Amino acid sequence: MIELTLEELLLWLVGVPLLSIGFFILIAKMKRRSTIRARQKQILCCAACGNVYQSRSRERFPQCPECGRLNERGSSRRLG
């Protein structure tokens, strides 16, 4: 038979569920953050005409539907 004190029993009854809930919240936040990053990569702003559009293609330089200019996907690291 397993002998537990009252403190140990309360630790198991309260501590283990709280740890598991915290773990699931952490996993949900990580999943949400990855979906937000994926959606941000789909939204582009044309550097020439300022048109904001969505491109679901995997091309590195998608074409603007308004002016036809190729725009770089993601944040630009150029200065100026």
pLDDT at 78: 63
Q: What percent of the chain has pLDDT over 70?
A: 92
46 contacts 40 by C-beta, under 8 angstroms: no
Q: State if pTM tops 0.85.
A: no
pLDDT at 55: 87
| pLDDT mean over 57-79 | 82
pLDDT higher than threshold 80 for residue 18: yes
pLDDT at 76: 60
Give the C-alpha separation, 78 to 43, whole Å.
Answer: 19
pLDDT at 38: 86
